[in-house]
Structure 1
Amino acid sequence: MVRVHIGLGSNLDSPQRQLHEALQALAALPDTTLAAVSSFYTSDSLLPGQPRYSNAVAALDTGLAPLPLLDALQAIENEQGRERAERWGPRTLDLDIITYADRVIDEPRLQVPHYHLQARAFVLYPLAEVVEEGFMLADGRSLRELLAACPFAGLERL
């Protein structure tokens, strides 16, 4: 079993309900335990004119390898009505692998730590709630330093 962190986001079809349903689905994954969940936050969309997002981070202990985990997350997204018509477009559910134990992964389908993590307050602040003090990413970056460089502005903790 390894510890992984999953970013959750939704801005369509009752976003907070979508996150709750996703958490239930994550807890039901094979060989996986839902270890912790951050508070829910709302944030502006990356693209103008879209509804605000609801976001959270879940900590999982899993025996699933990275790509099977990614496949399972995409299946959950699909079950909750995810359509992949527009990059960064509105969505019922977005599940991203933020960290996978102490591994750096650079594959065509998966990059871990998540490639835009340093610029995403809606991931960094919830992540800080579910990790230990002094948490370091597998690529050597300190979560504390990333938080210091990424203002809380635009986030609202629910």
Structure 2
Amino acid sequence: MQTLYHLGFGGNLGDVAATMRRALTLLDESAGTVVAASSLYHTAPMGTEAGTGYQNAVVALSSDWSPPALLAITQQIERECGRERLIHWGPRTLDIDLLLAGPTVIQAPTLTIPHPGLAYRRFALDPLVEIAPTARHPLWNLPVREIQAALRQRPLPVAVRTESPFGRRALLEQWPESLRRQIALAPADHGPDRAGRWVIDLTSSVPNTTPFHLTLEGMTSLERLEEILSAMLDEPQVIGALAPA
């Protein structure tokens, strides 16, 4: 049975566009049929180890491979394109993420679908919305274009639920000025949801089916929280085409 996958491409080493085009060819040869490719986007790196700016894109692939089998294929393509996993979230020639597999939800030690970062990473959402605006996030049952629109709010209303020593006021004081200008820190109560508010819950790791709620248990590092917020606030810019005209 054919499944329509959406794959996220990213890289910041070497000729990234050429590497991604090679990956498109390899996908067509070994994984299925590439049916759409987004533009190339310039995006901000996420994390202190990520290096310089990235290029990102999203590809739609029709395939009869299962998600675990496709993951193995994409990892082999990464290796053929020079990927070396030396630093977690470090610079790379090519990263291929399985973002969506239609309505499929998988929670396994080696594979999570939808991708856990899809809902807050503009570098994945923007190219996805370009080619598949009505594709739905299967946990939230929302079109991805609505999630993207919620991330475009300025200031962005964000509530942080945490059991760690740093409180809401301390968080706000320690965030860089570039973040503070773009975020409205909302109440972190556990009562009825507030329209348009993003909730980052550091007390649970259970994937939340409530739209705009991110569960990130164990993420007590202020630096890591800033990385998540930076990805939410990124403004990707189109820099060219991925697929040949």
Q: TM-score, normalized by length of structure 2?
A: 0.61
Supply the distance in 1 between the matched residues of 2:100 and 2:126 (Cα, whole angstroms).
14
Runs of 4+ with >4 A deviation: none
1:154 and 2:238 are equivalent in the alignment: no
For residues 118-133 of structure 1, the aligned pairs below 5 Å read: 118-131=119-132, 133=133
Supply the distance in 2 between the matched residues of 1:130 and 1:16 (Cα, whole angstroms).
18
Q: Which residue of 2 aligns with 1:33?
A: 33
Supply the distance in 1 between the matched residues of 2:134 and 2:80 (Cα, whole angstroms).
36
8 Å contact from structure 2 (residues 123, 234) kept in 1: no
Question: Structure 1, residues 57-96: CA drift from partner, whole Å, max 9, x if none?
Answer: 0000000001110000000001111111111100010000
Q: Which residue of 2 aligns with 1:12?
A: 13
Supply the distance in 1 between the matched residues of 2:89 and 2:20 (Cα, whole angstroms).
18
1:135 and 2:216 are equivalent in the alignment: no
Q: How many residues align?
A: 156
Q: Which residue of 2 aligns with 1:80?
A: 81
8 Å contact from structure 1 (residues 118, 150) kept in 2: no
Q: What 5-or-longer segments of structure 1 have no aligned partner?
A: none
> What is the Cα deviation at residue 106 of structure 1?
0.6
8 Å contact from structure 1 (residues 40, 54) kept in 2: yes
Supply the distance in 1 between the matched residues of 2:109 and 2:146 (Cα, whole angstroms).
28
Supply the distance in 2 between the matched residues of 1:39 and 1:76 (Cα, whole angstroms).
20
8 Å contact from structure 1 (residues 104, 138) kept in 2: yes
For residues 103-114 of structure 1, the aligned pairs below 5 Å read: 103-114=104-115
1:54 and 2:55 are equivalent in the alignment: yes
Cα RMSD, aligned residues only: 1.5
Question: Structure 1, residues 94-148: CA drift from partner, whole Å, max 9, x if none?
Answer: 00000012100111111011001112111101001221x5331221233122101
Supply the distance in 1 between the matched residues of 2:39 and 2:25 (Cα, whole angstroms).
15
* Residue type at the aligned position of 1:98: L
Tell which structure's C-alpha radius of gyration is larger: 2
Question: Structure 1, residues 35-65: CA drift from partner, whole Å, max 9, x if none?
Answer: 1000110111102471211110000000000
Q: What 5-or-longer segments of structure 2 have no aligned partner?
A: 153-232, 240-245
> What is the Cα deviation at residue 11 of structure 1?
0.4
User: Between the two proteins, what is the percent identity of the paired residues?
Assistant: 35
